[in-house]
Chain A
Amino acid sequence: MTAPQIEIQVIAVLVAVSCALPGTFLVLRRMAMMSDAISHSILLGIVLAFFVTRDLTSPFLVAAAALTGVLTVTLVELLNRTGLVREDAAIGLTFPALFSAGVILVARYAGSIHLDTDAVLLGELAFAPFNRLVVLGYDIGPRALYMMAGITALNILFVAVFFKELKLATFDPGLAAVLGFSPGVLHYASMALVSLTAVGSFDAVGSILVVALMIAPPATAYLLVDRLSTMLLLSALLGAAGAVSGYWVAHALDASIAGSMASMSGLLFAAAYLAAPGRGLIPITLRRSRQRLEFAQRMLLVHLYNHEGLPDAGRENRVEHLHEHLKWDRSFAERVVGAARDRRLVERRDSLLILTDAGREAARDAMVG
């Protein structure tokens, strides 16, 4: 690996980790689409601040963008409070307007800004190593690395210091308010942090893929664990895994790094969605089919027990008859009988089925409950 490759990966991991932490709370608080709104509207803040400072590296830009993010959240809430539109529509009205204003300003003055509409969507992670931070004449690494390290540290600090408060406000906002934890202040503080993180990540991955990094890893972790602390940790790890694997996929395909990071995070989610222990589609399907077989065996035992010793037993207690009586198709009936024989609940003489002692016991058990 060359030095720029390592630098890009470190920046990618920092972006992913700093997005995953506030993203966890967005996912849990059902505010995931707020990340979409914030990450779009900060463009307007960046552009306007640039018109004032005429300097793309000014820290003032970051502050202005973060402020725009908070403004967006406030606007959405104000619009929602008028009662004229629902919250989802309020989000859907606010951010396209702010983002459009930003895009038009960029497009109209593209000559004077080193921002074009492609960079807004794609980010420029591949170029990050070219923008160096020079202190006292020494080159100490890419500027983006220091900015993202700072934002990541701030995120970790915020979550660590206010862990208890965040947890309470997330799971029981009513109680948090009653106990005097001012969920409102905390809400705006975390929204400011989401905005700040979105601004920092904006350069690297663009405005839409920030959403992927904020939502996909926490959503994946949400399928896997049940504790807030482990969910935060796992989200960060999954984000980092998506970032590194995404980089190498992009490298192999010669494609957009940000797009690959988002796609890898999506693949990780898809894997968890299919296979998460106890919650994934495959474990659920397997469990259901096992339960179905188990239930069918009980039905079989009770059926055999009811007809046992009666004159019609010779007709009723046959494999072929199960199709008619229990509406089972032939292959399913064979499977059920096979499973019951494996457990020595039923014996088979030609096609006649006879309960064993254990089978009779199990049938009585099933009937009493």
Chain B
Amino acid sequence: METALKFLADLFSNHTLRTVGMGAVFLGIANGVLGSFAVLRKQSLLGDAISHAALPGIALAFLLTGSKSAPVLLLGAAAAGWLGTLFIMSVVKNTRIKYDSALGLVLSVFFGFGLILLTRIQRMPVAAQAGLDTFLFGQAATLLLRDVATIGALGAAVLVLVAVFWKEFKLLCFDPDFAHCLGFPVRALDILLTALLVTSIVIGLQTVGVVLMSAMVVAPAAAARQWTDRLGAMVAISAFFGALAGGAGALASSVVAHLPTGPTIVLCLSAIVIVSLLMAPNRGLVWGWARERLNRRRIMVDAVLADLHVLALRHEDPGHGHPISVLRTMSLGHGGVDRSLELLRKRGLVRKTEGGTWSLTPDGLAEARRLSGKGDEGP
């Protein structure tokens, strides 16, 4: 408890932690928003390809300019990521190679080329090259206030554009053909949305790293999808999840030694995803299981009632008691007869006779008739 308080105090007084936290929250929001569109458009893995493809761009930008300032490196990353995306689209359009192969190809080959450049840079005599390899797994602690300003500005620009083109993007996600019929420039919108995705991925590379950046795109959106069926709500929840995991992961990795930022953020995201998949109201797996159990129990109870009804039809006195063993035999394979009878008794539909046997009450008879669909016209 004391350490937690101290941490909170640090967070508000410590300049570095505040910078890191702010940067991670900004990029979490941007990627949460754009990730929602990517996941809905079945482009979950495009983020993986873009982030890996950005590596040679970062290395080339450094080799050409000798500068490590964020705008220069981000520009290189965005150019390479964009080029990779274009190549994927072109291969899928012009050959029989499928989308998944094109993604894997661009992802790994661009990354391989990036590694060549990176090993070249590492062998350069300049001391200034240090730090480029933090782009692999991300290092939130290297974020400077300047970098956070860049992240914030680009993230804000992305959000403004999404807000401006909200209606168009929504249409593009759910019914591109309809959008085309209405005369929207679908191709241009597609390119714009992809460009925004590239931008939001690129601003996260320094913090999360190229290797795991894709999780930042997919996970918040996939988790948010479980909580709502409306795009607006999904985007907002996704942004919140992205900010939460980004902030928590980045701060944890800045405070604890030997804790790479990217993987830490991903584990935070995974926890959110697991909770969402299990617990989200309506869609969550736990509710699904509960519903299924409830339904199964209801059917079993109804079956016992119907069995008793069948037995009652065979007797002149509808109140005649029947031993439980007969009911057990009749519901062979369903089981749970004792519990079903108990539930029926509580509802006043059956009663236990003095001899320990079971019979329908008048209410039970009416209910059984209703269930069998025969109405009230007697046995």
Report B93-116 residues with CB < 8 Å from chain A CB: 94-98, 100-105, 107-116
Q: With A101-B263, A104-B259 in contact, do A215 and B95 touch (Cβ < 8 Å)?
A: no
Q: Is A259's beta carbon under 8 Å from chain B?
A: yes
Query: Nearest-CB distance from B207 to chain A (Å)?
Result: 14
A-B pair count, CB < 8 Å, reads 210
Q: Which residues of B contact A319 (CB under 8 A)?
A: none
Q: When the two chains form the complex, which single residue of B94, B118, B260 contacts A117, counting CB atoms closer than 8 Å? A: B260
In the complex, A9 Cα to B200 Cα: how many Å?
40
In the complex, A258 Cα to B96 Cα: how many Å?
28
Q: With A93-B222, A266-B109 in contact, do A88 and B45 touch (Cβ < 8 Å)?
A: yes
Closest residue of chain A to B98, judged by CB?
A: A30
Q: With A32-B100, A82-B277, A101-B267 in contact, do A259 and B45 touch (Cβ < 8 Å)?
A: no
Q: Is B215's beta carbon under 8 Å from chain A?
A: yes
User: How many B residues face the partner with a CB closer than 8 A?
Assistant: 62
Given A222-B96, A273-B95, 18 extra CB contacts under 8 A: A32-B105, A84-B226, A84-B277, A84-B285, A85-B277, A88-B42, A91-B45, A92-B218, A96-B215, A121-B115, A211-B108, A216-B109, A219-B105, A255-B117, A259-B113, A269-B105, A273-B94, A284-B94
Are B116 and A259 in contact (CB-based, < 8 A)? yes
Are A255 and B116 in contact (CB-based, < 8 A)? yes
Query: Nearest-CB distance from B82 to chain A (Å)?
Result: 18
Chain B residues engaging chain A, CB cutoff 8 angstroms: 39, 42-45, 47-48, 52, 91, 94-98, 100-105, 107-120, 123, 133, 136-137, 211-212, 214-215, 217-219, 222, 225-226, 258-260, 262-264, 266-267, 269-270, 273, 277, 283, 285
User: How many A residues face the partner with a CB closer than 8 A?
Assistant: 61
Are B273 and A93 in contact (CB-based, < 8 A)? yes
Chain A residues engaging chain B, CB cutoff 8 angstroms: 27, 30-33, 35-36, 79, 82, 84-86, 88-89, 91-93, 96-97, 99-101, 103-104, 107-108, 110, 117-118, 121-122, 208-212, 214-216, 218-219, 222-223, 250, 253-256, 258-263, 265-266, 269, 273, 279, 281, 284
In the complex, A254 Cα to B225 Cα: how many Å?
47
Q: When the two chains form the complex, which single residue of A86, A117, A212, A214 contacts B112, counting CB atoms closer than 8 Å? A: A212
Q: With A97-B267, A259-B116 in contact, do A108 and B258 touch (Cβ < 8 Å)?
A: yes
Query: Nearest-CB distance from B352 to chain A (Å)?
Result: 43
Q: Which residues of B contact A269 (CB under 8 A)?
A: 105, 109
Q: When the two chains form the complex, which single residue of A214, A219, A263 contacts B116, counting CB atoms closer than 8 Å? A: A263
In the complex, A253 Cα to B119 Cα: how many Å?
10
Are B212 and A100 in contact (CB-based, < 8 A)? yes
Q: With A86-B42, A104-B259 in contact, do A273 and B113 touch (Cβ < 8 Å)?
A: no
Are A30 and B100 in contact (CB-based, < 8 A)? yes
Q: Can you name 12 A-B pairs with beta carbons within 8 Å?
A: A84-B226, A96-B269, A97-B215, A99-B212, A103-B263, A104-B264, A108-B258, A208-B112, A209-B108, A209-B111, A212-B109, A215-B108
Are B44 and A92 in contact (CB-based, < 8 A)? yes
Are A89 and B108 in contact (CB-based, < 8 A)? no
Are A85 and B222 in contact (CB-based, < 8 A)? yes
In the complex, A237 Cα to B97 Cα: how many Å?
19
Query: Nearest-CB distance from A92 to chain B (Å)?
Result: 4
In the complex, A163 Cα to B188 Cα: how many Å?
46
Q: With A97-B267, A97-B270, A216-B108 in contact, do A103 and B116 touch (Cβ < 8 Å)?
A: no
Closest residue of chain B to A249, judged by CB?
A: B116
In the complex, A92 Cα to B46 Cα: how many Å?
10
The 7 closest A-B CB pairs, nearest first, are A262-B112, A266-B109, A259-B115, A212-B108, A100-B263, A96-B215, A92-B218
In the complex, A279 Cα to B94 Cα: how many Å?
8
In the complex, A97 Cα to B113 Cα: how many Å?
26
Closest residue of chain A to B101, judged by CB?
A: A32
Are A36 and B104 in contact (CB-based, < 8 A)? yes
Q: Which residues of B contact A107 (CB under 8 A)?
A: 258-260, 263
Closest residue of chain A to B213, judged by CB?
A: A96
Q: When the two chains form the complex, which single residue of A32, A85, A121, A263 contacts B103, counting CB atoms closer than 8 Å? A: A32
